[in-house]
Amino acid sequence: MAGREETNERMESTISTSRRWAEYLVAVLLGNVAYLLVEPQLPATMRHRMFRVDVGLGVDFLICVAIYAVVRLARGIEQ
């Protein structure tokens, strides 16, 4: 049955997309918490100021990306 196969593919795609968004959310939340814990020890030039694009925002972004990479590696090992 072609209909059943298409339905299974859609469900797998939906689950994959949901998991991917969950990974994004975990990475952003943990990354921001990590940055907020580290921020007081950073030099003034590496601290983020509200409503500005600065080095601190880049550091926060890099921490989030690093945590996302760890999450993806952990999921790869898990499967």
Domain boundaries, the chain: 24-78
User: What are the pLDDT digits (tens) for 23-73?
Assistant: 999 999 999 999 999 999 999 999 999 999 999 999 999 999 999 999 999
- The pLDDT of residue 9 is 65
Q: List the structure tokens of 2.
A: 């072609």
Tokens of 10: 């859609």
Going by pLDDT thresholds of 50, 70 and 90, the confidence category of residue 77 is: confident
55, 69 Cβ separation under 8 angstroms: no
- Looking at residue 2, its pLDDT comes to 57
* Residue whose entry in the numeric block shows the structure tokens 């196969």: 5
Per-residue confidence (pLDDT) for residue 16, from 0 to 100? 85
Judge whether 42 and 56 are in contact, CB under 8 Å.
Answer: yes
Task: Retrieve residue 46's tokens.
Answer: 């590496």
Model's pTM, two decimal places? 0.78
Burial of 60 (0-12, 13-18, 19+ CB in 10 A): buried
